[in-house]
């Protein structure tokens, strides 16, 4: 019998292959939903403009998200427990090159759906921002015990959505999301490698 994931006796640890397949499958499903919604709803995709400013702004937001996550992790025990569960489940089985996919696949597919299509479809306003952010947070619910992770993901969704609203450029939240995933997963993996 394999070792159980901390704080979740009902879920067995995943293998590297299972994590990579799940990431790829989820990305394909989210991209398909985005394209279908865009086509059926005649929703224009939020513009994607490759500018240096957008890249730097996205990287700055990623650093802010990573730093804020670290502070919240230290101050909020429920979030710490949820984050540890998620990181143990998803990142532990991966090797360092896999972390590139962990940054790219969710970052691209989730941003195309939530900020690229859902936000314009609902409305480029406060209601659209809040609804798309809450739905984004709910997507991160793996079990009822992980509710605090949903709260954090919703807050991150608000920040990413606000960056899309403020700039009108989908590249900003994409870069922020990809970089935040990559930075945080690399930091966690390095920390666990040193302590092992």
* CB count in 10 Å sphere of residue 103: 21
Name the pLDDT band for 141 (thresholds 50, 70, 90). Answer: confident
CA distance 35 to 192: 38
Name the pLDDT band for 196 (thresholds 50, 70, 90). Answer: low
Query: Residue 9: is its pLDDT beyond 70?
Result: no
Q: Which among 159, 158, 191, 175 has a CA at the least distance from the CA of 84?
A: 191
CA distance 54 to 132: 21
CA distance 171 to 46: 9
User: pLDDT tens for residues 11-39?
Assistant: 677 899 999 999 999 999 999 999 999 99
19, two tokens: 């994590």
Q: Which among 35, 153, 28, 12 has a CA at the least distance from the CA of 101?
A: 28
41-63 mean pLDDT = 96
Name the pLDDT band for 86 (thresholds 50, 70, 90). Answer: confident
* CB count in 10 Å sphere of residue 193: 9
DSSP assignment, residue 2?
A: P
130-139 mean pLDDT = 96
- Asked if 168 contacts 57 with a C-beta cutoff of 8 angstroms, the reply is no
């Amino acid at each position: 019998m394999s070792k159980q994931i901390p704080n979740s006796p009902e879920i067995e640890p995943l293998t590297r292959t299972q994590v990579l397949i799940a990431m790829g499958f989820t990305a394909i499903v989210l991209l398909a939903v985005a394209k279908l919604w865009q086509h059926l709803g005649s929703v224009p995709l939020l513009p994607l403009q490759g500018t240096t400013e957008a890249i730097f702004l996205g990287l700055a937001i990623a650093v802010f998200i990573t730093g804020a996550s670290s502070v919240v992790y230290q101050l909020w025990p429920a979030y710490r427990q949820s984050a540890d569960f998620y990181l143990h489940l998803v990142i532990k089985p991966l090797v360092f090159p896999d972390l590139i996919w962990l940054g790219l696949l969710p970052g691209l597919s989730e941003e195309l759906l939530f900020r690229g299509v859902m936000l314009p479809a609902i409305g480029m306003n406060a209601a659209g921002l809040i609804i798309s952010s809450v739905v984004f947070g709910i997507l991160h619910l793996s079990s009822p015990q992980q509710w605090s992770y949903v709260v954090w993901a919703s807050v991150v969704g608000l920040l990413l959505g606000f960056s899309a609203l403020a700039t009108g450029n989908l590249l900003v939240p994409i870069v922020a999301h990809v970089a935040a995933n990559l930075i945080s997963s690399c930091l966690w993996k390095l920390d666990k490698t040193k302590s092992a």
